[in-house]
Chains A and B, each alone.
Chain A
Amino acid sequence: MTRLLLLTASVLALSVPALAQQGGSPTPRALAPGVQVEVEQPGGGQAAPGRVDETALRYYARIGDVARLEAEIARLKSIDPSWQPPKDLFAPQPVQAGVDESPFWKLVSAGQMAEARAAIAEARRKTPSWQPSEKLLAELDIAEATARLRGASEGKRWQEVVDAAAADPRLLTCNRLDSLWRTAEAYGELKQTDRAFELFRTAATTCTKASERRDTLFKASRYLPQDRMRELADIAGSANPAPGEDYAIVRRAMAELDVGRTLERLGAKGVNPPAEDLARAESNVTERRDADAAIALGWFYQNKKQFGQARDWFTRANEWAASDRAAEGLILALAGLNRKEEAVAAGAPWRGKSERVDRALRAVVKPPGGGGGGPQGPSPLDRAVAARDWSLCLDLIERERRANRVTAGLAQQRGWCLMELNRPSEAEDSFAEARALSAKAGGAERRRIAEEAQYGGMVARMRMDDTAGVMHDLPGSGLGAEHQRDLKASALASQALRAYQEERFRDTLRLLDARLPLAPESRGLTLMRGWTLYNMNRHGEALELFEALDRRLSTEDTRNAVDTARQAIYRGG
């Protein structure tokens, strides 16, 4: 020993800086690496046998992290049900002799794992008799494994995700739900559906929070076929219920997914979803009284000329949440059924207030001056508009023009059909023509047509990016309040879009917010709002918006948005 000490000391004199001495504590110190002095370590962070390790608990109490404190109390109680949190948790603790672990915990909770490892290694070099607490080491191990798993997942290195998860089974528990999900997704990407299902099932059975189970379903829906999804949803909705949790949201989530899938297919032209899926979607829509979904179903039937079913869905939509969109569909469905009076009645609440309802009504009610169509039912032009066949609309009106039978109403209709075809400059001309022709009409009719035509012209100018001009002309235009409001909303939308394109994100939000009281936000605008928030690094809010959109109707756009926002959040820690 003496010889060893001599040898060691002679090397150390050259290679090691002044030996560190622990501040304030005279006993535990290292003489040199390899020369260990046995020192009694009072409370060196190690748990006494048979008792739970309160190191982390005390740390969280000291820094005042209540959420983590509570989670740690719950965890310790699950290990030892007889254990009670110490009463002196918030009392100042005497500084422990030896090595104080709190700097390491501070680094760990700041996510600075490498820095924590370095600090621990340095402390162990200076105090060889000291060992970090099991709890601290476990926390570090799992945080590092989690980071590796996450890195592999974000790099889409799916096999590495699976390997990293295999290295530490603690990663695949509800406590580490993010890792569990990412691993399940990796199996999904690797086409190992059974394994993916197993992990999603672990989440759906062991996580007691209803919201976690619901989100598990949303994630699984990208990888599991319908039958496995239904199996998973059954489990998630019933297994191991915890008091105070409402698993109805899990079942509703499954319904949303079903409807989302079906509606997505309804949107594609010429695609007929299986009758079974359609029936399930319909019953879910009814159960949830989802007006948007009902309108989608209405248009699905309307396009198939099944006007009765279309009418029923538009009616339900209107009952659940009255809107001009529902009224528009209802008018056209009733027209399809040849029930013109009912159609007019259905449009009455929105007449003069909604462009789309007015347009639908014009398609149903024969415009003054004719336009084809007898008193028996809708004219070919009505049918063309109801079927949203805008080219046919132009053809039919062109036929009237050649026969020199063009009227203010027809010119106006032509303007709207051109707008639908995104030909705004021709539409503007057509509206101007309608205004000129309106002089031939009499009285109130003349004023109504003239105002409508003026409104149409301004909408056309807006489409041609003359927002500033329209806003300038608006106060003196004599347009009704509803029309003015529509135009303002439309102007704000296009200004918001421009601001977004110019990456003036603060302005984008301001403009979108200013628009909100004027008109409901469309799906496209909400998506833009989400991307604006995303670009302002408000990733959490963006994700919330995207998820809400995606749940309502999942499309490529919304799924990408959800993915991107989620990744940004994970990256940012």
Chain B
Amino acid sequence: MIVGGKITGRGNGSVDPGRRALLGAGAAGMLAAVLPAPARGQTGGAQTAGAELDAPSWHGFAGRFLGADGRVTDTGNGGISHSEGQGYGLVLATAARDRGAVDRLWGWTKRNLMVRPDGLSAWKWESGKGVTDPNNATDGDILIAWGLLRAAELWKDADLRGAALALLQAIRQHTLVRQAGMTLPLPGVTGFRRGGAVIVNPSYLIMPAFQAFAAAEPSGGWDGVIGSALVFLAKARIGQGQLPPDWALLAEDGSLTLPDGFRKQFGYDAIRVPLYLAWAGYRDPWYFRPYGAFAAPFGNGPIPATVSLPGGTTAQVPASVGMLAVLRLATRIAESGNAIVVPPLGADEDYYSTVLFLLTRLAERSLGLSP
């Protein structure tokens, strides 16, 4: 979707179709082959005791997606890089206690993406071209800030903390909107208003990040964002399956519909909703039951990656390993009784599936659900 002559970042859904198409074609492996050489050596160093992410997992991720320069490559999307990838990279590197990787990730991000005057990051970067869309993607900004904040606290680093707080302030100032009594982030600074209504991406409500922000900025209003996000997610349940949509349109009166111009589905974006809720310590089964109910009819067979909303038609494409990991976590909290089998990550697992898989592992450990 082109808004005001500019492509509005991930608001156009242009990333997801690619993700889906490539998954369907089984082309992720081929893409991996043309990626920069694995930077295995760069991630070395002894693992810090108490790391939440084990060294083999982290090395597996970094070796395949993190370049020596500190750039994360999205193998499911034509090898582009984006603010979300840098953010996830920072979170994972910190969890693995890989200080060197943190510095390279932030260094590359700062040099290449922090080019906007408002202090937010440009979301899209392509090899040989640089920034190809200067719009921000708010989830990327939130993830980068969260990663920086975690790193700053772990290593008591004032510079990282300063960078994190500056980014937090920019997020507060430029992306948070008040709508129907809720304070929520716009998916990007421009292009997400429809008259009096606003477009919200439920998977940009990264609850554990908001909790960390509330601790770092006690008067920053983040508790209000958390409360708003919970209310919003209680409303964002569509159709018979009551699953959240990838994109939602929130009217001034608080009513919620599916916006035109966006794929009307529960899919690659919204799968992160239960992950973030669980990670933030929310265990109310009501918030997780739709995922258990969605997965249950498929038994041990493949579970579809996407569901059209509100109709409930499922896609032929099966959920990736990472998506299955999230669904298993959600189903456990929902106590719906069905067990989802999550195979190990494949050798050619793509960037997004790997990220979901590792984040879910982090969440499960923090919740005491896995060793």
Contacts and interface: CB of A to CB of B under 8 A. Distances in A.
B252 interface: no
Contact of B240 (A114, A128, A163): A163
A125 B240 contact: no
Nearest to B210: A17
A167 interface: yes
A17 to B, nearest CB: 4
Interface in A12-65: 12-18, 32-35
Contacts of A13: 153
A15 B212 contact: yes
B40 interface: no
A113 interface: yes
A124 interface: yes
A164 B281 CA distance: 31
B208 A15 contact: yes
Nearest to A36: B368
By secondary structure, the B interface counts as helix
A444 interface: no
B172 interface: no
A7 B281 contact: no
A544 interface: no
Contacts of A4: 368, 371
A33 B227 CA distance: 17
B234 A113 contact: yes
A117 B234 contact: yes
Contacts of A163: 240
Q: Chain B, interface size: which category?
A: 35 or more
Interface residues of A, number: 33
A120 interface: yes
Given A11-B365, A35-B368, A114 B234 contact: yes
B50 A14 contact: no
A15 B231 contact: no
Interface string A163-175: 1100100000000
A10 interface: yes
A17 B208 CA distance: 9
A14 B150 contact: yes
A114 B235 contact: yes
A4 B368 CA distance: 7
Main secondary structure of the interface of A (DSSP, over half): helix
Contact of A114 (B231, B280, B284): B231
Interface string B357-371: 000001001111101
Given A16-B215, A16-B281, A121-B284, A34 B369 contact: yes
Contacts of A7: 50, 52, 365-366
Contact of B286 (A121, A125, A160, A164): A121
B154 interface: yes
Given A12-B366, A17-B215, A120 B284 contact: yes
Interface in B272-288: 279-284, 286-287
Contacts of A167: 240
Contact of B366 (A11, A114, A128, A137): A11
B235 A14 contact: no
A226 interface: no
B214 interface: yes
A8 B283 contact: no
Contacts of B170: none
B153 A121 contact: no
Q: Which of A10, A11, A13, A113 has the most CB of B within 10 A?
A: A11
5 contacts: A15-B280, A33-B367, A35-B368, A114-B232, A117-B234
Interface of A: 4, 6-8, 10-18, 32-35, 113-115, 117-118, 120-122, 124-125, 128, 137, 160, 163-164, 167
Given A121-B234, A128-B283, 4 more contacts: A8-B367, A16-B208, A33-B366, A34-B366
